[in-house]
């Protein structure tokens, strides 16, 4: 009785009305028509070489897979992540080495030859008289705490400190404090 009604899918197809075109009549489907299921069964013409494993792990989205396929994809993802991490570390090392090379070039530009020698700390040359005197006799330094009234030991220490200060002033010039 409802054979005259068009199928709901066919009724959704838009038609254009034009004076030059005659409209077709709605097609009626045979009574043996069955709509397709939403999921199709696996193909019967697929590879049957024994490597197809049953896919019994099904995700919420409907994707089915065998555990071996899941493990293989995880290992491939892990290998990919290791490759990306190694590339990133290599890039960072190259960047840091470039920075060090630029800093070294700048230091060589400012003080040529300084980095090429093994002697890095500059020490003033000692006077020959003081070397001979120090090797001839060893005199213990007087302790300030031993003298009670600021005797000759304290005075000699202050004189030595003043002499060192004078030497520094002669070497570097009088640097006034501000």
pLDDT tens sequence across 31-64: 888 887 777 676 665 555 556 777 777 777 777 8
Count, residues in the chain: 178
β-bridge mates for residue 65, sequence order: 57
How many alpha carbons lie under 13 Å from residue 33 in its C-beta half-sphere?
10
Q: What number is the average pLDDT over the span 74-80?
A: 95
How many alpha carbons lie under 13 Å from residue 143 in its C-beta half-sphere?
2
Judge contact between 144 and 157, C-beta under 8 A. yes
Q: pLDDT higher for 46 or 11?
A: 11
What is the model's pLDDT at position 66? 84
What is the model's pLDDT at position 31? 87
Q: Indicate whether this model's pTM tops 0.95.
A: no
131 vs 147: CA distance, rounded Å: 28
Least confident stretch, 84-98, 101-115, 137-151: 137-151
What is the model's pLDDT at position 98? 96
Q: What number is the average pLDDT over the span 70-96?
A: 95
What is the model's pLDDT at position 120? 62
Judge contact between 141 and 161, C-beta under 8 A. no
Q: What number is the average pLDDT over the span 118-133?
A: 64
pLDDT tens sequence across 154-178: 566 677 777 777 777 777 776 666 5
């Amino acid at each position: 009785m409802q054979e005259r009604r068009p199928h709901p899918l066919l009724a959704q197809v838009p038609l254009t009305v034009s004076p030059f075109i005659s409209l077709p009549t709605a097609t009626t489907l045979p009574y043996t028509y069955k709509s397709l299921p939403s999921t199709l069964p696996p193909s019967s013409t697929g590879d049957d070489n024994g490597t197809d494993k049953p896919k019994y792990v099904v995700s919420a989205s409907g994707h089915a897979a065998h555990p071996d396929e899941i493990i293989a994809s995880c290992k491939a993802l892990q290998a990919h992540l290791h490759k990306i991490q190694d590339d990133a570390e290599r890039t960072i090392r190259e960047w840091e080495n470039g920075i060090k090379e630029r800093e070294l070039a700048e230091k060589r530009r400012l003080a040529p030859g300084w980095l090429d020698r093994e002697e890095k700390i500059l020490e003033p040359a000692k006077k020959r008289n003081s070397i001979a005197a120090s090797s001839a006799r060893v005199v213990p330094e007087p302790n300030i705490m031993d003298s009670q009234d600021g005797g000759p030991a304290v005075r000699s220490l202050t004189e030595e400190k003043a002499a060192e200060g004078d030497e520094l002033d002669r070497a570097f010039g009088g640097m006034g404090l501000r």
